[in-house]
Amino acid sequence: MHGEIIAIGDELVSGKVLNTTASFAANKLFAAGYQVTRITSIGDDPDDIEECLLAAIKRSKYVIITGGLGPTTDDITNEVTSKALGRPQVLNEMILEKIRRAKKRFANSAFLREKLAWLPEGAEVLNPEGRAAGYLLIHQDIPLFFLPGVPKELEDHLINRVIPMLSRFFSGKISIRQQTFKVFGLSETEINKLFEKLESSQDGLSIGYYPNFPEVNVTATVKGRNSGKVAEIFHMACNTIEQLLGRYVVAVNEETLEEVVGRLLLEKGGILSLSESCTGGLVSHRVTSIPGSSGWFEGGVITYSNKSKEDFLGVSPKTLSLHGAVSSQAAMEMANGVKRLAGTEYSLAITGIAGPSGGTTQKPVGTVYIALSTPERTVAERFQFIGTRHMIQILAAETALDLLRLHLNYGTYFPCNRPAQFTAQDT
């Protein structure tokens, strides 16, 4: 029951807009047991759209078409579909009435043009209340779902209408179980070596490795007709993967590393504070992006200059003079200073040289010191990252959060369970 997705819009093929809706749709369809074998982005050219649509109908069991349903002149999906399938456009009275009602309230809205009410003959409207009505056409026994390109509306159509409706066309669907392990500190090559024998030992099991810098996503997928057997193989595979990857797994599925850290802090009853230099608030940004993080995060300071380290955190001028701002001594004093300032149980401090200039023989670009302060002690470790300035900042932020995760979860301090030197390619 393989299908495909066609995403229409000049903005997609010009690179102005990332086609996130197609990846969202494929993910949800796959989880529901409906495989997507092809995703095509295509511009607003009528000949190209017609050619792509007719080819999809020939090779796929179902097709989802997104975009081009609006009221503007470049929204031509309905017209092209009518021509390609030999179906005249028919005025949909239900949508027309909605437009007429809305005209009284929003006279100047572009979305009120009656063009929206003209659909190919045989169209079954999925949601007449949307700004652009999605609809279903059945052509040569192939269900064609035409959905709006606006992400929120597409998501609503897909989850609440398309996926439930697909069961009308396909019985005995394949059972699919999938889990993603987010790994930090191992390369794809190292991960692949761990699983060489596992994948071949179980029918229906596939393991994929997908770089998502600075992590690698390891996705275990089990497919089959027998749901009980699929569940059995899936649980066995997940348990084995967890054992093989161990502490390198920083999060699972949709959860992020910072969410894991927050959950662990709540379990411990601890509050976190941050002092950042070379990362410029990146860790604080990641933390505060999580709803409810105020329950475990007190605040952070960006102490970029030596003066700010002295004035805000009480870092000793002698420490800076003898060891420099990029040193374990400075990092520990930063961690202690922000913890004292914020009155928290835990703190992290990051100081380093992100580049591209500023490095020395003793401390080349990519040298970063990260300090962790807990109720028991304060420790710091040197890391040597390789990459662009932004990559080094990302690696430093990820490493700091992961060091806290390891401590909260396993009680470990430095050295951690991974080498101190990472490259952009290794993570």
Stretches in the chain below the pLDDT threshold 50: 110-112, 416-427
Neighbours of 157 (CB within 10 A): 25
Based on the domain organization, do 24 and 162 belong to the same domain? yes
Pairing type for strands 346-352 and 367-373 reads antiparallel
* Structural domain total, the chain: 3
pLDDT value at residue 425 = 34
Q: DSSP for 154-178?
A: HHHHIIIIIHHHHTTT--SPPEEEE
Based on the domain organization, do 88 and 232 belong to the same domain? no
| 5-27 pLDDT per residue, tens | 999 999 999 999 989 999 999 98
| 287-302 pLDDT per residue, tens | 999 999 999 999 999 9
Based on the domain organization, do 149 and 269 belong to the same domain? no
The CATH number of residue 307's host domain is: 3.90.950.20
Based on the domain organization, do 79 and 207 belong to the same domain? no
The CATH number of residue 233's host domain is: 3.30.70.2860
Based on the domain organization, do 385 and 271 belong to the same domain? yes
Based on the domain organization, do 22 and 159 belong to the same domain? yes
pLDDT value at residue 2 = 86
Beta bridge partners of 381: 370
pLDDT value at residue 424 = 38
Based on the domain organization, do 20 and 157 belong to the same domain? yes
SS3 of 212, please?
strand
Which distant-in-sequence residues (6+ apart) come within 8 Å of 234 by Cβ? 177, 179, 220, 222
Pairing type for strands 3-8 and 62-66 reads parallel
- Asked if residues 79 and 54 have their Cβ atoms less than 8 Å apart, the reply is no
Report the candidate in 147, 129, 165, 152 with the shortest Cα–Cα distance to residue 78: 147
pLDDT value at residue 426 = 35
pLDDT value at residue 174 = 78
Name the residue range of residue 241's domain: 175-252
Last residue of one domain, picked from the residues 227, 252, 277: 252
pLDDT value at residue 313 = 98
- Angle in degrees, CA 285, 286, 290, rounded to 5: 105
Cα separation of 207 and 212, whole Å? Answer: 16
Based on the domain organization, do 96 and 133 belong to the same domain? yes
- Asked if residues 224 and 153 have their Cβ atoms less than 8 Å apart, the reply is no
Length of the chain (residues):
427
Based on the domain organization, do 193 and 302 belong to the same domain? no
Based on the domain organization, do 35 and 160 belong to the same domain? yes
The CATH number of residue 46's host domain is: 3.40.980.10
Neighbours of 124 (CB within 10 A): 13
